[in-house]
Amino acid sequence: MIRWNLHVHTTDSDGELTVAELARRAVDGGLLGIAVVDHFPYPDRDPKTVDWRLSRDQLVRRLERLKRLSENEDRLIILRGIEVEFMEPLDPLERSLEGLDVDFVLGAVHVLGRWMLDWSEAEFLRAGEFFGGLETAIQRYFDAVAELAESGLVDCMAHLDLVKKYNPGQRHFRQTSGWYVDAANRCLDRIAEAGVSIELNTGGLARHPIGEMYPSGWLLRRAADLGVPVTVGTDLHGADEGVTAGLDQAELALREAGYESYLIFKNRRREEVRLDSGC
């Protein structure tokens, strides 16, 4: 049984539950710990254009509040995390991360330039407008994921193949196409070389059109073959979502891929949790 959820959001960014509400649900669900990873501020973005993330001042206050709450909560470990976004160049992000007291830094790519790739299907299909075609855009996406992993700024990369979110039935591109497989595999090779973990994200099972976890089973199996460790998270946002939603399916997927354990992070240091430990 997986008893850690390393990807939840609160009302401090784009979630609908407070930390206290999440903690109560996590305890009721039998979890040992959660990582609150509200979205990190874009150092160079107008908050009016990206309104689902924290300001840095808000983030510092939230981290202090999380630390106090965790110290007073003996039924649940609450890890202080952040979800940071790829940007070009990465220097402003590096400067903004300096001095932050966090347990876990989760990296993600939701935006590439003007392409808001997971905002809506209509926005996803604007890839051609910005990159000349969907194939080029998706290849750039996987390059960006690898670049962020290689930066040394993050502990883990979230929802590795998020670009499939609006591709149920492979209606916009074939995930078995040679160019797609090659791009995803190159990305995973670079992540492995960087020594960064990836996330098994259950959020796509119920909330996203694709109706499946990230990454796909074939990518998870290849990650296991490469020795890439994993974290597990539900990517919880809504008040109607379960804090343990999909964790049983995640455990099955990990076992089928060949994993015997997953990771948690404390003070940016990884700890291994065996699947058969009950912890």
Distant-in-sequence, close-in-space partners of 242: CB < 8 Å, separation ≥ 6: 25, 29, 234, 236
Delimit the domains of the chain by residue range.
4-274
Mean pLDDT over the full length of the chain: 91
Q: What is the pLDDT of residues 151-191, one digit of tens each?
A: 999 999 999 999 999 999 999 999 999 999 999 999 999 99
Pairing of strands 33-36, 111-112: unpaired
Element (H, E) at 79: strand 77-85
> Which DSSP symbol is given to 220?
H
Residue 217 tokens read as 């089973």
- Amino acid letter for position 191: I
pTM reported for the whole predicted model: 0.93
Residue 9 pLDDT > 80: yes
Domain covering 4-274, topology: TIM Barrel (3.20.20)
Half-sphere exposure in the Cβ direction for 90 (13 Å, CA): 20
* CB-count burial class (<10 Å; 0-12, 13-18, 19+) for 122: exposed
Q: How far is CA 75 from CA 33, 212, 221, 247, 263, in A?
A: 9, 31, 34, 20, 20
Terminal-residue alpha carbon distance, the chain? 8
**Average pLDDT for residues 25-47, to the nearest whole number?**
81
pLDDT single digits (tens) 225-251: 999 999 999 999 888 889 999 999 999
